[in-house]
Amino acid sequence: MKNIFTYTLLLILTFSCNQNDFSDTEMFFLTDEASYRVNDNFEITAIVSPKSGEKKIRIKKNLDNLKISFHASSTEQEFSQELKKHFIEGPSLTTDESQYIDEFTISKTQPFKKTFKGLISESKESIILEIPELNIIDSVAKSELLVNPKLTIKGNFQTIFSVKEEYFTPKDINILIE
């Protein structure tokens, strides 16, 4: 009896930990404008929609499993991700995870949508993009944007209780420097 309980528990943990919340979804960004200038505010909306039917996704309440970065299109840069401040190895057997995680049922007509407000500023040599709600401060060299004003927004969601990541379709915007 003890062995059956142990094997059942291991199977439950294995399948719940390996669930990829964002597989079979379409993920993309929308922005409120196509072009921005220094000192402009901007809005970026993250949208997650299932490819078909309905799907449940789980997102950390503090949005720690969402990463967004900005890259100058004139250079070849790989998507970089900062190290996690919090690491969750698997579902707790004794605590209620709902205090840390929101679960959403999404469909084509009711996708997950979250809009973030940001600000574009500048320093002597860089253009700085900030999204305070996500604690994101990213910068791009002004010299790169003078060559090509196109900036690419990249991002991903990391699945809860696993290291699997699903990537957003990159979105291009223009940053006009005077």
Q: How far is CA 11 from CA 39, 74, 163, in A?
A: 53, 48, 19
Q: Could you report the per-residue pLDDT of 3-54, keeping only the tens digit for each? A: 676 656 555 555 544 466 788 899 999 999 999 999 999 999 999 999 999 9
State how far the Cα of 85 lies from the Cα of 77, in Å rounded to an integer. 24
The CATH class given to the 2-176 domain equals mainly beta
What residues does 43 pair with on adjacent strands?
117
Q: Pick from 57, 135, 143: which is nearest to 103 by CA?
A: 57
State how far the Cα of 151 lies from the Cα of 101, in Å rounded to an integer. 32
Share above pLDDT 90 across residues of the chain, in percent, rounded to a whole number = 58
Q: Could you report the per-residue pLDDT of 49-77, keeping only the tens digit for each? A: 999 999 999 999 999 899 999 999 754 44
pLDDT for 2: 63
The domain limits of the chain are 2-176
pTM for the whole thing?
A: 0.77
State how far the Cα of 155 lies from the Cα of 68, in Å rounded to an integer. 4
Mean pLDDT of the chain: 81
Q: Pick from 158, 155, 168, 148: which is nearest to 69 by CA?
A: 155
pLDDT for 107: 93
